[in-house]
Structures are given as structure tokens and as C-alpha cells.
Chains A and B, each alone.
Chain A
Amino acid sequence: MDIPKEHLVDMYETMVKIRRFEERIRELYFADKLPAFDIAAGLIPGEMHLAAGQEPVAVGMRPHLKAGDAITATHRPHHLAIAQGVDLNKMAAEIFGRETGLGRGKGGHMHLFSVEPNFGCAGIIGEGIPVAVGAAMAFRHRKTDNVALSYFGEGAANQGAFHESLNLAALWKLPVVFVCEDNSYAISVPKTASTAIADNSDRASAYGIPGALVANNDPVAVYEAMGEAIARARRGDGPSLIEIKTDRLWGHFEGDADAYRSDEFKTAMNEHDPLATFGKRLLDEAILNESDIASIQDAMHAEVEAALEFAMNSPYPAPESALEHVFAGRSE
């Protein structure tokens, strides 16, 4: 297929932005939690799950989105939120627990909710899958051609909610694309120890919907597969399941000793870093030159720094606001 140059460049820019954001969050997260790792201490309290290495999964769908499309994600959401265009300042502020954040600082990094673009995530495994089905039902009810994208890991595909969601979406031919990010590990549990079959894309046929496997962590491969799946949903042909083999370069959470993955496994992953690979490919194809690459890095790094500055300079929510936006209809 012919891929417009602007799509290729946009995907690369977004990959650079995601990686820079994850790297800086990682630095700031650890800055004041040591020497004894105190998860509650410092600028970013609580757990942190970063998506370095999984950028292709996010950027490959980006050019196919339209305003109003909905995305549900997981405890590892940053790459998807950034790719969908969630306000980076407000996203950073939410991660830092500040009043200017997406959830007024009360949700944190695993609970990023944006109305426009329509993005939501949560830490309960498999939680977002039926929510995406609900969004798709709403689009059908409102007679729009929007689609819902549901992102989850390979471990979540063993949850009941996954199976219920695929069944209902298939039965009602809803405009939803189910996307399984297979990074081979559910926390520390390898897929071979959790899942009876080798590939979750095989499960699609049990519900009468198409399932495809994207076997390499490549943004162009994801772009092709997601383009077909999203177009299919948008024209009313119903749901599909896309499984993408990707790499989680860092531990499950920040502070994870990651001892359950061998050094050979981690070395091999880093040798196939998708950001470096895609950048080299763009140079080889003369889509970008070295100067372009440098400019993109400068621009994306500056945007990330500006968002982090905004977050760090934002106030914390006042203690007396603790019960605001918690109960419906409560005015005080």
C-alpha cells in the first residue's frame, strides 16, 4: 500500500515523543524515592508502568483515527494517550497528582480520562474491554461512523470480560477493534504459563470475527493492520481482533527488578528497539535526513519538557476538595 509521507513522519515524531516522555517520567519517578524505594514518596507517588518499546502499537493506529473515536487502555497507558492526542500538559499534571490534571489530580497515572479525545484507562485487568463495547454501542445508537479501540495485554485475554466482550460485539456487529498488546509477560508470568493457546488472534474465529497477527513490532505493520480493522469497523462490517507482538523494554513497573527475564531476552529486545529501527528505515528511504531527525528530537523533547514543567508548577488539589467529583449531584 502507498503510505503518505506525512503519516510516516507523524508516526516517527509520536514515537520520539512517547519514548522521551517515558524516559523523563522514569527519571523523575526515581529521583526522590531512593535510597530505600518508598513508593509513596516524591513527585510521582504510587505505581508507574511505562511503555518504552511498545510505541509501534500506539502510533500505527494514529493516522486512521477521526474525532470522536474512543480508546480504552490499561495500567500501561501513556503511549496510547499520547498517540491519540490527549493533552500532554494535563496528562503530565494528572500523573503528578496536580489540580490541573485530567482528573484534577485524583486519578493518577493509571486513571487518565479525557473527553476530547475520548480516552480512558484503568488498572483492573480487562476492565476497558467491555467499556469499549459500550462506546461502540453508543456510536451505533447515535448513528455516527466512529469506532472504539480496546487495548489490553495478552494476560487480559484470559479474563471473562474479554470473551464476553468479543461475543457481544460479534453478535451485534459493533464498530470496535480489539487490540491485544502481546509483550509476552503478564507482570512476571510468561504467556506460555498463562494461556492454553499460542496466539490470541486465534480466538477471534471462536466468535465469528476476523483475527490477525502482527508478528513484528513495526509501526508500518501495525499501520497496515489497524487501517484495515478500523476501516472495516467504520463501514459497519463489525469487530475484529488484532494481536501485536511487541516488546516491553523495561520492567512491569518502575522498581521491578525484572529478574524473571533473562539477560539474553533483554539484550535481544534492545537490539530490536523499534524507535531506532524505524528511524534508520526512514533515513534509508530518504523520508528524513539526519537534520530532520535532530529537529524532531529537539521539538518532541521540548514539548515533553514543557508538559513536565506545567505539571511540576501546578498546584496540588486542596484537601477540602477531596469529596468533590466523587458523588453525583453533590454540590459542595
Chain B
Amino acid sequence: MLVGLIANPVSSKDIRRLTGLARVIGIEEKANLIARLLVGIGSVNGVTVMSVDDPSGLVRRAVTLAGSAAPPVAYLPIEVEGSESDTRTGAAHLAGMGAAALVTVGGDGTVRSAAEGWPMAPLVPVAAGTNNAFALTDEPTVVGLATALAVTGAGDAFTPTTAVEVQTAEGRALAVIDAVVVRDRWIGTGAIWDPTQLVEGLVTSSRRTAVGIASVSAALGPLAPGHARWIRFGGEGSVRAVFGPGLVLDVAVADHTDLPIGAAVSLDQEAGLVALDGERRLPAKGGTVRVVAGPRVLDLERAFRSL
């Protein structure tokens, strides 16, 4: 069985290392993390890995580190640019090759790019980002083993998620956690660390352990599966949220409502940007956001039950 692998060498390095207590996850630590993942995958017979060959040689370092415990690893014959387009392109190729699972190593942005390339991917998102609102934060060796069991075993160990489709004048984009209008007019470093910049948006998560805008949603109560939460920020009321690593903030919330898959909202904005999964990205003017079915995510417990 084929497992796809896309690792982001630049996740966990942006300005949030200065605006909060976000840590750097350097290349060597990521390589170690991927090596442990590979050892987990390699412990089950019959699984091969096809990876995007990033310019930093991140996956190659990991393969060397894992040694003979790694499964067979090959590299996609695609041009890599050293940008997030590599993730989208790689995911699309792996979909075409019939990969049984797509492992991403990075942050929420990495997951988002992978989902844009393969919208209904059976995802195994390994956390190596700043907020990791979407990713699995379990020990990578365990995640690797669970992935191999999931793709070689009977049954379906992947759980459906909800996502947000964003349509603007610049085209279509996908967010796996949140698509939120911010007052900023400049993409800059992309990161969001000031909740007073939030205007309104859709959030697909209410997981209490999530960090970022998802934490704001969680503070507003549980969210039913197949729904996303429309939140209008500002006003008099507020909730306490873990807005980032080392950042517990009171975030002003004026209003919220839960919307099912298929519901759409027009962004009534003249200025500002739409931030996708915590990254400033697209002009908000004239945009629409829609609740859609998202990628599937590995359920570790169900994977181990297939043993």
C-alpha cells in the first residue's frame, strides 16, 4: 500500500516566535520527528512511502536517521519550488497515484495546502506547526504505526471533517479550520497574533484543546459534526481563548451561529483580507465562504482496533 508524505521545512518559524512563546521546530527536530514516523510505518509489512522531495532535504535526512527501520521511500518526480505550491502539487499527484493515506508534517497551513491539492484526502496530519489546531499531536512513532495499520487493515479508520470553501476574485481556496476576515490589508508575514484585527468568519472546530481562532469557537460551546460556526468578532462580550502558544487572551465576540454543510455567507467587506487557517491570504472584497465536506482524518483508536 502506498502512503504519501509531504513535509514542510518552514513551518513553525514565523513571527509568532516573537509575538508569543511559539517555539521553533527546526529542520533537525522535524527530521527526527519524521524518522520516528517512518519507523512506525516501517514496522508493518507491505507499506511504501512516496514523498515530495523538499529543497531542504528534510525527508532525506529523516530516511537516513531512521536507517533500516524505515519503509521503502521514493520521491515524486515533480519540480519543487520551495513554496506552498509544492504541497498542493504533491498532494494532487499522490491522489492520482491512489495513495491510501496522505501524511503531512507541518502546521495548519500545510494541511490546508494539502487539502487544496487533494480535497477529500485520507489525511494523517502530524503536528509540526505553531497552533496545530487540526493536526495530531501524538508521538509520531505511534502515528506512523497507526497509519500503516489503517492502510493495510480492514475497515475505514478515517473520520470525515468539515472545511470552508472560500471564493474570491482571485479564485477558490480551502480552509480546514477557519476562514476569517481580518482588518489587515497587507499579507506581510501572514501570521495573526492580534485578535482585535478579526472581523467575522467561519470556524470548523470547537475542540477545547485547539489553539488559535478555534479556541475562540471552543469557548462558545460544542459544535455538531458537519457544521461550522459563523462568528462575528468585536462588540461588548468576550471569551477567553488560547490565541496562540503562550497567549491567553480575551477575544471580543458579538455574535455567532452554527451553519450546516452547504450554507454560504457573502463577505460584506470593502477592505481587509481573508485569513485561511490563521494566515492572511486573500482580499476579502466580494468574497463568499461556504461550509463544505473536508478531508478525512485518521482516528488513531480505530486504526489500532483493526489490528
Q: Which residues of A lie under 8 Å from residue B185 when comparing CB positions?
A: 285
- Binary interface profile of A, 15-40, with partner B (CB < 8 Å = 1, else 0)? 00000000000000000000000000
Cβ of A70 under 8 Å from chain B: no
Q: Are B19 and A220 in contact (CB under 8 A)?
A: no
Partner of A224, one of B9, B56, B189: B189
Interface residue tally on B, bucketed by range:
20 to 34
Q: Are A199 and B10 in contact (CB under 8 A)?
A: yes
Partner of B26, one of A202, A218, A240: A202
**Which residues of chain B from 1 to 53 have any CB-CB distance to chain A below 8 Å in the complex?**
9-10, 13-19, 23-24, 26-28
Q: Are B188 and A228 in contact (CB under 8 A)?
A: no
Cβ of B214 under 8 Å from chain A: no
Q: Are A201 and B13 in contact (CB under 8 A)?
A: yes
Q: Which residues of A lie under 8 Å from residue B10 when comparing CB positions?
A: 199, 213, 215
In the assembled complex, how far is the CB of residue A323 from the closest CB belonging to chain B, in whole angstroms? 48
Q: Which residues of B lie under 8 Å from residue A202 when comparing CB positions?
A: 13, 24, 26-28
Q: Are A199 and B184 in contact (CB under 8 A)?
A: no
Bound CA span A83–B220, Å: 47
Cβ of A214 under 8 Å from chain B: yes
In the assembled complex, how far is the CB of residue B70 from the closest CB belonging to chain A, in whole angstroms? 20
Q: Which residues of A lie under 8 Å from residue B184 when comparing CB positions?
A: 1-2
Bound CA span A197–B28, Å: 8
Q: Which residues of B lie under 8 Å from residue A197 when comparing CB positions?
A: 26-28
Cβ of B194 under 8 Å from chain A: yes
Q: Which residues of A lie under 8 Å from residue B188 when comparing CB positions?
A: 1, 218, 220-221, 223-224
Cβ of A318 under 8 Å from chain B: no
Q: Are B15 and A228 in contact (CB under 8 A)?
A: yes
In the assembled complex, how far is the CB of residue A79 from the closest CB belonging to chain B, in whole angstroms? 20
Cβ of A3 under 8 Å from chain B: yes
- B23, B189, B194: which has the most chain A beta carbons within 10 Å? B189
Bound CA span A201–B197, Å: 27
- A201, A212, A285: which has the most chain B beta carbons within 10 Å? A212
Bound CA span A68–B188, Å: 27
**Which residues of chain A from 154 to 197 have any CB-CB distance to chain B below 8 Å in the complex?**
192, 197
Q: Are B9 and A198 in contact (CB under 8 A)?
A: yes
Cβ of B241 under 8 Å from chain A: no
Q: Are B187 and A213 in contact (CB under 8 A)?
A: no
Q: Which residues of B lie under 8 Å from residue A212 when comparing CB positions?
A: 13-18
Minimum-distance CB pairs A-B, first 9? A202-B26, A213-B13, A198-B56, A228-B18, A220-B188, A198-B27, A220-B186, A212-B17, A224-B188
Q: List 20 A-B contacts (CB under 8 A).
A: A1-B184, A1-B197, A197-B27, A198-B58, A199-B9, A199-B10, A201-B24, A202-B24, A204-B17, A205-B26, A210-B17, A211-B17, A212-B15, A212-B17, A213-B10, A218-B188, A220-B188, A221-B187, A224-B189, A225-B189
Residues of chain A at the chain B interface (Cβ within 8 Å): 1-3, 192, 197-199, 201-202, 204-205, 210-215, 218, 220-221, 223-225, 228-229, 232, 240, 281, 285
Residues of chain B at the chain A interface (Cβ within 8 Å): 9-10, 13-19, 23-24, 26-28, 55-58, 183-190, 194, 197
